[in-house]
Amino acid sequence: MAVNVNEYYENIQNNYLFVEIARRVDKYQEENPDADLIKMGIGDVTKPLVKSVIKAFHNAVDEMADADKFRGYGPEQGYDFLIEDVIENDFKPLGVELKNSEVFISDGAKCDTGNFQELFSQDNIIAVTDPVYPVYVDSNVMAGRSGKPTDDGFYENIVYLPCTAENDFVPELPKEDVDIIYLCYPNNPTGTTLTKDQLKVWVDYAHEKNALILFDAAYEAFISTDNVPHSIYEIEGAKEVAVEFRSYSKTAGFTGTRCGYCVVPEEIFIKNSKGEDVQLNPLWNRRQSTKFNGASYPVQRAAQAIYTDEGKKEIRENLDYYLENAKVIRDNLEKIGLKVYGGVDSPYIWFKTPDDIDSWTFFDILLDQANVVSTPGAGFGPSGEGYIRLTAFNTYEKTVEAMERIKELKF
């Protein structure tokens, strides 16, 4: 008898990007114990949970210690108190009506975007923008929906849609037929956005080709420009062709607390093996009921607090704080002549390395000469080569300090 590895795991090219970066940074710190590193790599927040969230969290923990209020297993789909606030606050103001049964509370958008592909046939062709959040690609590779890795950093059978300065970071429609399209806007990693008209092109395309859009809106709360859609459902017809993922991680500092949700409209139908229409929403419900026991009660109460008047004000202050950091980064990098993108509707700043230095080399330069941790663009896909991503999630003081150090560099 032998236990055999899932052969598709053998296709995976590298460590998970942020694990690899952490490994390199730890090694550097070990070799240079006095280096005062400023971390602007992974998009992890530095501000603590806001007061109203902490209060709700504590109250809910106390309830768990009270025999009359204690809660055991909750609904796998999330508690109605949170689902109703999501619909009322995140969608109603945009003119989007949703039913409770269309919102699924979870432990975050990384899990949801990684897990959702399970619902689709292995033969389906996925398309991703390139560069891209690695979870979309890696989870499909693990599921056997790709072929082998190629020498130039792609995977066979995955359609890559380059997004670079040359096309203003707006992906072109695929030339080949694709079934599932991952879009993330505001974009991770480039920090760029699509206008409503540009997103409509994708919704229309999905209708025309019977494709499905998996729309990651984890960074929606950072949008400050008019005409940038906060939800794909602001686009007519999107409810028939798009699933949307949201996260409290960056919106409300829940990176360690874990909570998010996804919206699976009842209008979406896909095909079964006999070519018949099958509703997508019950499939996700079935998947979640089998493999997930819901986000914890205190965490969902904590998330609910961001929809109170006080909570809204408090998280807005934090979002503005990070957006101010983003502006500091943008302005300073531009001052030294770098080509800088993103950072207006997003906590991510994406810039071209000077003199076409490759991403990992420039990552090392920043680490070694400025003690600043970044994310190499190439880690997000071949079209990210020659770019670097910085996050605005550190403190204002450290962000300013990092910029001073980068300005001192000679390149």
Residues engaged in binding ligand MLT (CB under 6 A): 42-44, 110, 133, 188, 249
Nearest in space to 263 (alpha carbons), one of 244, 288, 290: 244
Query: Minimum distance between the CB of residue 189 and ligand MLT, rounded to whole angstroms?
Result: 6
What DSSP line would sit under 248-264, residue for residue?
A: SHHHHS-TTT--EEEE-
To which H or E segment does residue 243 belong? Answer: strand 242-247
Pick the closer one to ligand MLT by CB: 104 or 348: 348
**Is the Cβ of residue 187 or residue 281 nearer to ligand MLT in the bound state?**
187
Instruction: Record the tokens describing residue 57, joined without a space.
Output: 């969290």
State the nearest-atom distance from the C-beta of 135 to ligand MLT, in Å.
7
Q: State the nearest-atom distance from the C-beta of 41 to ligand MLT, in Å.
A: 7
Q: How far apart are CA 357 and CA 364, in angstroms?
A: 11
Provide the minimum distance between the beta carbon of 262 and ligand MLT in the complex, in angstroms, as a whole number.
15
* Closest separation in Å from C-beta 247 to ligand MLT: 7
Angstrom distance (rounded) from CA 391 to CA 280:
35
Bridge partners, 180 (sequence order): 126, 212
Two structure tokens written together for 77: 């789909």
Residue whose CB is less far from ligand MLT, 78 or 191: 191
Closest CA to 300 of 51, 47, 55, 56: 56
C-beta of 198: minimal distance to ligand MLT in Å?
A: 22
Helix (H) or strand (E) holding 161: strand 158-162
Comparison of 25 and 211: residue with beta carbon closer to ligand MLT: 25
What 3-state DSSP class applies to 182?
Answer: strand
- Of the pair 42, 165, the CB lying nearest ligand MLT is at 42
Indicate the residue among 44 and 358 with the shorter CB distance to ligand MLT. Answer: 44
Question: Residue 136 half-sphere exposure, CB side, CA atoms within 13 Å?
Answer: 26
Q: Where are the beta strands (DSSP E) in 77-119?
A: 103-106
Q: How far is the CB of 362 from ligand MLT (least distance, A)?
A: 17
Residue nearest ligand MLT, CB atom distance: 43
Q: Which of 309, 319, 307 is nearest to 223 (CA)?
A: 319
Estimate the crossing angle of helix 359-370 against helix 396-408, to 10 degrees: 100
